[in-house]
Chain A
Amino acid sequence: MKQTRIDRRFAELAAAKRAGLVTFTMAGDPDPETSFRILQGLPAAGADLIELGMPFTDPMADGPAIQAAGLRALDAGMTLRKTLEMVRRFRKQDDTTPLILMGYYNPVYSYGVPAFLDDAAAAGVDGLIIVDLPSEEDPELCLPAMEKNINFIRLATPTTDDARLPAVLNNASGFVYYVSFTGITGAAALDTQAVGEAVTRLKRHTQLPIAVGFGIKTPEQAAAVARHADAAVVGSALIARLADAPDRDTAISAVLDLVKALADGVRNARRDG
């Protein structure tokens, strides 16, 4: 594969000797225009990489916050086609921030894998995280995505033991997303010591950068993770801000303010080693 925006961004972060902030928001939540304005504001607020959720009716690995975000987006008429259109619009103003689409396989399968990959590549998508495609199903989307120079981001979890890791990392590229606990998004409290040990374990198996997500809600937690990992991922906490806001303008500023605070946390964290 050729270098992607993801590879370049992690190289820049390594050169700057700091970890990155990865944000997750849902495309179309609470409506397409508001979610685009949030997306547009993320790089300036301090997001180093952007994960954009593709809404799905049955998000089996997500907690209540992200479930609700997906349903709000679908109720507002969001579709995968419109999500790709949103990425295309974003790319007109930003050609450097990596953008990763995250979601479930059925909408992609329904779109048609070859057409989806063509359209995603043309729109400026750099990576994909598909929760329900483990390495056993690599021929479905991972291998075709690599051919289009789109990173297929692997998830590793506390249940992915050393025996299984090589299989999981086999076709990994871009970075590895470490899911910090067994559970759904937005649930349990973060155990930073366990995260540190897990990152050390992963680093024995791969040269790829490690991003850690699930359970990071505050700038302090993001900073704690940033001391161990190459990036910290925050999703449910941003979505909760958006959901709690009384109106659309407040929602946008509430989300971007939290991104700024998280980015400060990550940037000021002292890296181990």
Chain B
Amino acid sequence: MQKPNSYRSGPDDQGHFGIYGGRYVAETLMPLILELEEAYRSAKDDPAFAAEMDGFMRDFVGRPSPLYFAERMSEHFGGAQIWFKREELNHTGAHKINNCIGQILLARRMGKKRIIAETGAGQHGVATATVAARFGLPCVIYMGEVDIERQRPNVFRMKLLGAEVVAVKSGSRTLKDALNEALRDWVTNVEDTFYIIGTAAGPHPYPELVRDFQSVIGREAKAQMMQRLGRLPDTLVACIGGGSNAIGLFHPFLDDEGVELVAVEAAGRGIETGEHAASIAAGRPGVLHGNRTYLLQDDDGQIVEAHSISAGLDYPGIGPEHAWLNDIGRARYVPATDEEALEAFQLCSRLEGIIPALESCHALAEVAKMAPKLPKEHIILVNLSGRGDKDIFTVAEALGVSL
């Protein structure tokens, strides 16, 4: 494959990153997606939109999020320096709010009156319910029945924030089915509804706009690294389900070719067991939820259910820009199992006094593998994308502790 002049120029006019991306939606939604694209283009060029966004990011979300040296974890592994980008300190406890602020400001600009969203772990649902409350818009969150069971604290949070949480009983009753149900709502309520997609996937322009709203992570990290250490990190590590925290961290660094990019997929009970969510490691290109990307599917092109202990990674696909970055070799996609994530969960809690989200623990699990083998000068920057309070029931159960 020919090397592009810049890795940051995608997508093209049709929403493609290489062969990935696109707009594979029902005709009913097509005019809405074109309208969204136009609205986004005009917002992007409007300094007033950027100023409004910056204001909410500072005063409501609490940005910039700190850059933190994980000293005891670095000592523990005895190799590379480990730094965290503390996205878990954002309002609502994860990176998801960055994108929600951007999309709800866009929704208001477009005069939309009703907000819908899908959620897996509930972090995006909570973030969406939060911004909907802040701007006084009614909000419906679609969540798989299975996820509702394992993320009860977040379900209650969403309700407190005034959102209606709809239990999705179709298919595997997890994130992919919540997305199907949100699309069914959108196709029904085309006039007044804005769909806040939570990850850098879906039909164009969603992968682009979610990436842009999340890129604040990488832009801040870059500036903070330069200010603190006078240099860029050597390796960036982020967990990946759909891939919004990973692309948010990676994108501003894509053209800094000395910076290695590592994204960690959920290997669940192990790739070999078939019970995982590693679409790059074990999937192949297909079309689902509006875009072409790597998907877990059988020989007949039927979508296979994903598995991960972390509800936020439990999705059989991945954002299209990641599919492309994988194929051209700019980023590396590696797996981490449930067990490895659980180990990282406990280690980080004890060593750093930070309880990380199970999603982010996949990134930490990869750090545990690479850090000991690297020299002290090597700087690893991990996206600590969310906090783990929501996961305590799941973790307790996995560890055989009754609460």
Contact = CB atoms under 8 A, between A and B. Distances in A.
B288 interface: yes
Main secondary structure of the interface of B (DSSP, over half): mixed
A184 B170 contact: no
Main secondary structure of the interface of A (DSSP, over half): loop
B303 A155 contact: no
Given A57-B302, A107-B300, A161 B287 contact: no
B180 A58 contact: yes
A61 B188 CA distance: 10
A56 interface: yes
Nearest to A132: B24
A134 B303 contact: no
Interface string A45-63: 0000000000111111101
B23 A157 contact: no
A134 B188 contact: no
A100 B28 CA distance: 21
Q: A57, A134, A137, A161: which has the most chain B beta carbons within 10 Å?
A: A57
Interface string B231-244: 00000000000000
Q: A61, A79, A80: which has the most chain B beta carbons within 10 Å?
A: A61
Contacts of B171: 57-58, 67, 71
B255 to A, nearest CB: 29
Contacts of B187: 60-61, 182-184
A108 interface: yes
Interface in B271-323: 286-290, 292, 295, 297, 299-303
A133 interface: yes
A159 B28 contact: yes
Contacts of B295: 106
A59 to B, nearest CB: 8
Q: B14, B288, B290, B300: which has the most chain A beta carbons within 10 Å?
A: B300
Contacts of A64: 170
Given A106-B295, A107-B300, A61 B184 contact: yes
Interface of B: 14, 22-32, 170-171, 176-177, 180, 183-184, 187-190, 286-290, 292, 295, 297, 299-303
9 contacts: A60-B26, A105-B24, A106-B303, A132-B287, A134-B24, A155-B27, A159-B30, A179-B28, A184-B184
Given A74-B302, A105-B287, A158-B28, 20 more contacts: A58-B171, A61-B26, A61-B184, A67-B171, A79-B300, A106-B295, A106-B301, A107-B301, A110-B297, A132-B290, A134-B26, A136-B14, A159-B27, A159-B28, A159-B31, A168-B27, A182-B28, A182-B189, A182-B190, A183-B187
Interface of A: 55-61, 63-64, 67, 71, 74, 79-81, 104-111, 131-137, 154-161, 164, 168, 179, 182-184, 187-188
